[in-house]
Structure 1
Amino acid sequence: METIKQDHQIDIKNPRMLLFSICFVLMFSVMNGTMFNIAIPDIAEAFDLMPSEVSWVMTGYIMVYSIGALIYGKLADTVAFKKLITFGLIVFSIGSLIGFLAPNYYFVLVARVIQAIGGSMMPAIAFIAPIRYFPNERGKILGIIASVMAFASGIGPILGGVIAGFLSWQFLFLTSALMIVTLPFLLRNLPDEETVHVRLDYLGASLVGLTIATALIGITLGVGWSLGLTVIFGLLAIIRMFKAKNPFIPPHLFKDRNYIVALFTSFLAVACLFGLMFTVPIMLREVYSLSTMEIGLVMFPGAISAALIGRKGGRLVDQKGARKVYLASLALLMTGFLIISSVVGLSPLIVSLMLIFPMMCFPLVQASGADILANLLKKSETGVGMGVFNLMNFVSGALSGAIAGVVLDLFNPQNPVNFLAATGESAVYSNLFLTFMGLVLIALIAFKVIYRERSLIN
Structure 2
Amino acid sequence: MSKSQTVAGIPVPKAGTPEFEKMNNMAKKSIPLVLLIFTFSILEQQAFGMIFVNIGQQLSAPGRAALITSIPGIVLGIVCVIYGSLGDFVSLKKMTLLGVIGFVIGSVIGFVLGPKSIWAVIIARVLQSAGGQVSGSVFLVLVSKYITQKERVVYYGIFVAVFRFSAALGVVLAGYVTRIDWKWLFAAPILSVLCIPSLAGNLPDDHAEGVNIDWAGFALIGAFAGAVTMYFTDMNMFWAIASIVTLIAFILYVNKAENPFITPEFFKNPAFIATMVVIFVGYFFSYTINAGINAIGINIYGIDSAEVSSLLVWSILLAAVLGFVCGPVVKKIGRSASIIMALAFMGLGLVAIAFAIPYGKVAALAVAPCIYYFGTSFFYSPIVDTATLTVSAEESGRVLGFNDLLQAITGSVGVALFGGLMSAGAMSGGSIVNVASGKASTYVNVFLVGGIVVLSAMVIFIACRKVIYSRARTEEED
TM-score by length of 1: 0.91
How far is the alpha carbon of 1:116 from its aligned partner?
2.0
Structure 2 match to 1:373: 387
1:358 aligns with 2:378: no
**Could you tell me which residue of structure 1 aligns to residue 225 of structure 2?**
212
Comparing 351-360 with 166-175, greater Cα deviation is found at: 166-175
Superimposed CA distance per residue, residues 23-61 of structure 1 (whole angstroms, 9 cap, x where no aligned partner): 32222222322221211211221333355x332222211
Change in Cα spacing, 1:48 to 1:147, as seen in structure 2 (3 Å) is same
Contact 1:38-1:157 within 8 A present in 2 as well: yes
The equivalent of 2:441 in structure 1 is 427
Contact kept? 1:127, 1:370, Cα under 8 Å: no
Structure 1 pair 225–124 and aligned structure 2 pair: CA distance change class (3 A): same
Q: Distance in 2 between matches of 1:27 and 1:338?
A: 31
- Against the structure 1 CA distance between its residues 263 and 150, is the aligned structure 2 distance closer, same or farther, given a 3 Å change threshold? farther
- Amino acid across the alignment from 1:47: L
Check the 8 A contact 1:39/1:160 in 2, yes or no: yes
Aligned-pair distance for 1:224? 0.8
Shift of the 354–86 alpha-carbon distance from structure 1 to 2, 3 Å rule, reads: same
What secondary structure is seen at the aligned counterpart in 2 of 1:10? helix
- Paired letter, 2:52: I
* Rg larger in structure: 2
Structure 2 equivalent of residue 290 of structure 1: 303
Correspondent of 2:329 among 302, 311, 316: 316
- Is the alpha carbon distance of 1:357 and 1:396 closer, same or farther for their aligned partners in structure 2, counting shifts above 3 Å? same
Distance (whole Å) between structure 2 residues aligned to residue 15 and residue 82 of structure 1: 11
Structure 1 position 455, deviation (Å): 5.6
Distance change in 2, residues 1:253/1:14 (3 Å): closer
- The equivalent position to 1:235 in structure 2, one of 245, 248, 268, is 248
Larger mean CA deviation between 139-148 and 26-35 belongs to 26-35
Q: Does the CA-based 8 Å contact 1:23-1:148 persist in structure 2?
A: yes
- CA deviations 1:386-430 (Å, max 9, x no partner) are 111111112223333333332222116655524255655333222
Separation in structure 1 between the aligned mates of residue 228 and residue 196 of structure 2, nearest angstrom:
34
The CA distance in 2 between the partners of 1:185 and 1:427, in whole Å, is 55
Letter in structure 2 aligned against 1:29: S
Contact 2:342 2:377 in 1 (8 A): no
Contact 1:138 1:318 in 2 (8 A): no
**SS of the residue 2:229 aligns to:** helix
Structure 1 segment 91-170 matched on structure 2, within 5 A:
91-100=102-111, 101-102=113-114, 103-135=116-148, 136-164=150-178, 166-170=179-183
Shift of 1:104: 1.7
* In the alignment, structure 1 residue 454 sits paired with structure 2 residue 470: yes
The 3 A distance-change label for structure 1 pair 178 and 277 is: farther
Which AA in structure 2 matches 1:417? Answer: S
Equivalent runs, 1:22-33 vs 2, <5 Å: 22-33=34-45
Q: Secondary structure at the match of 1:376?
A: coil
2:99 to 88, 94, 112: 88
Q: 2: distance between equivalents of 1:416 and 1:189?
A: 60
- In the alignment, which residue of structure 2 is the partner of 1:436? 450
Letter paired with 1:311:
F
Q: Where do residues 29-108 of structure 1 align in structure 2 (5 Å cutoff)?
A: 29-49=41-61, 51=63, 53-100=64-111, 101-102=113-114, 103-108=116-121
Structure 2 residue identity aligned to 1:454: S
1:171 partnered with 2:187: no
Tell me if 1:201 matches 2:217: no
The C-alpha deviation readout for 1:258-317, integer Å capped at 9, x for no partner, is 211211211222231222123223332333343444222211221121112223222232
Q: Say whether the 8 Å CA contact 2:342–2:379 is kept in structure 1.
A: yes
Secondary structure of residue in 2 paired with 1:272: coil
Are the structure 2 counterparts of residues 456 and 213 from structure 1 closer, same or farther at C-alpha, using a change threshold of 3 Å? closer
After superposing the two structures, state which structure 1 stretch, 417-426 or 291-300, moved more. 417-426
2:284 maps to 271
Corresponding letter in the other structure for 2:93? K
For the 8 Å contact 2:53–2:62, the answer to whether it is kept is no
Query: Does the 8 Å contact 1:343/1:421 carry over to 2?
Result: no
1:21 aligns with 2:37: no
Looking at structure 2, the residues matched to 187 and 286 of structure 1 have their Cα atoms a distance apart, in angstroms, of 51
Separation in structure 1 between the aligned mates of residue 268 and residue 202 of structure 2, nearest angstrom: 37
Q: Quote how far apart the aligned CAs of 1:357 are.
A: 0.6
Q: Which amino acid aligns with 1:263?
A: M
Alpha-carbon distance in structure 2 between the residues aligned to 1:397 and 1:265: 13
Structure 2: distance between partners of 1:149 and 1:7: 32
Query: Which range moved further: 360-369 or 266-275?
Result: 266-275
Relative to 1, partners in 2 of residues 1:281 and 1:152: Cα closer, same or farther, differing over 3 Å?
Answer: farther
Unmatched segments (≥5 aa) in structure 2: 1-14
Q: Give the residue type in structure 1 aligned to 2:240.
A: L
Residues 270 and 397 of structure 1 are in contact (CA less than 8 Å); yes or no, is this contact kept in structure 2?
yes
Contact 2:390–2:472, Cα closer than 8 Å, also in 1: yes
Are the structure 2 counterparts of residues 367 and 254 from structure 1 closer, same or farther at C-alpha, using a change threshold of 3 Å? Answer: same
Q: Which residue of 1 aligns with 2:270?
A: 257
What is the distance in 2 between the residues matched to 1:27 and 1:287? 34
Q: Indicate conservation of the 8 Å contact 1:158/1:293, yes or no.
A: no
Relative to the length of structure 2, the TM-score reads 0.87
- Deviations, residues 427-453 of structure 1 (Å, cap 9, x unaligned): 322222112111112211222212322
Once structures 1 and 2 are overlaid, which stretch shifts more, 445-454 or 203-212? 445-454
